[in-house]
Amino acid sequence: MSIHSEFLWYIPNTVQSDHRGDTAVSNNLEALTSHATALERHGWKGALIGTGWGRPDTFTVAAALAARTTTFEPLIAIRPGYWRPAHFASAAATLDDLTGGRVRINIVSGQDNLAAYGDSEGDQAHRYGRTREFMRLARRLWTEENVTHAGEHFQVAGSTVSPRLQARGDRRHPKLYFGGASEAAERVSATEADIQLFWGEPREGVAERIERLKALSRNLDRDLPPLEFGLRITTLVRDTTEEAWADAEAKVAEMAKARGEGWRDHRTWVAVGQRRLLELHERGDVLDDNLYTAPGKYGGGGAGTTWLVGSAAEVAASLLKYQAIGVTHFVLSDTPYLAEIKRQGDQLLPLLRG
């Protein structure tokens, strides 16, 4: 795989102890730090830390883990509305400065318990219009001084964020990751995102979306560097093919018994991209070479809906095929999280780096 590809993991930011079958998950700082330091030792660039009302605050968790590590790069999920643009830009610039440029940001537009933290949104056009304006304004605050902006959703006057971000090679500010499969979401990604994240769809569908997003970028006169592409997926790796599939089927059997309890991250409102994932099992339990769709029968949820299953060589071969169609950022995970950080770091990453 290209030396330009990057490999991140996932650190669950949740108060429940059975997240996706991992009974060892704990949200005390020692447990979370053990994940972050294991990521450093076993070859990972960093980890996505999810967001949602009812979980610990993502930015606070990321800052604590950054302080206890030296190379770990948190991919911090944040929501417009939970943050105001200038407040967010300042917080991110501060953490980026303190860590020597280790911050990454995942902008999330999916619905949440907005009223609980005093936010409100209108229809889809309003939600994505606000997200687009948030991303554009945050980037301006990081790269310009005395910013004045009077938009439909946000206003600032004479705003200069401190500390000023330092350019690091071609990196002028934290990279902005973004997901979403609706037409409105793709227009935001094509114009404002640095990296579009896909869920674990079959390669044909991902390839089609990459080409559509490239065309949208041209048609909408994108004025940023070319959009890059990422994959967020569960990778179930075992020593042999047989062991991997036996474990995968056993996990799905447990999901069926519990009706997906602990796995569904999208319970009340299902976004376009999530719906696409949940419908994949209707085409078969295994798609492409080893994309397991059966978890979607029991709710799945985000990256828990489809899994790449097999030996390290087989899972690496599938990821290489995603890389061949243009995916260069990978956010992987499996449970138990800590054990799999080590196993996949030692067995899978060397095959991907070639």
Q: Would you give per-residue pLDDT tens digits along the chain (354 residues)?
A: 545 899 999 998 876 666 676 776 667 899 999 999 999 999 999 999 988 888 899 999 999 999 999 999 999 999 998 999 999 999 999 999 999 999 999 999 877 777 887 777 778 888 999 999 999 999 999 999 999 999 999 999 999 999 999 999 999 999 999 998 899 999 999 999 999 999 999 999 999 999 999 999 999 999 999 999 999 999 999 999 999 999 999 999 988 887 666 555 544 445 666 677 777 878 889 999 999 999 988 866 778 889 999 999 999 999 999 999 999 999 999 999 999 999 999 999 999 997
Which pLDDT score, from 0 to 100, does residue 263 have?
57
Which pLDDT score, from 0 to 100, does residue 159 have?
98
Q: What's the CA gap between 159 and 140, in Å, rounded?
A: 10
Query: 3-state DSSP call for residue 332?
Result: strand
- 0.75 exceeded by the pTM? yes
Which pLDDT score, from 0 to 100, does residue 142 have?
98
Query: 3-state DSSP call for residue 335?
Result: coil
Burial of 244 (0-12, 13-18, 19+ CB in 10 A): buried
Burial of 282 (0-12, 13-18, 19+ CB in 10 A): exposed
Which pLDDT score, from 0 to 100, does residue 315 have?
98
Query: Hey, what domains does the chain have and what are their CATH numbers?
Result: 6-234+312-353 (3.20.20.30)
DSSP annotation string for 14-37: -S-S-BTTBTT---SHHHHHHHHH
Which tokens is 151 given?
Answer: 């938009």
Q: Which of 11, 41, 40, 38 is nearest to 26 (CA)?
A: 11
Contact 152, 133 (CB under 8 A): yes
Which pLDDT score, from 0 to 100, does residue 267 have?
47
Which pLDDT score, from 0 to 100, does residue 112 have?
75
Which pLDDT score, from 0 to 100, does residue 266 have?
45
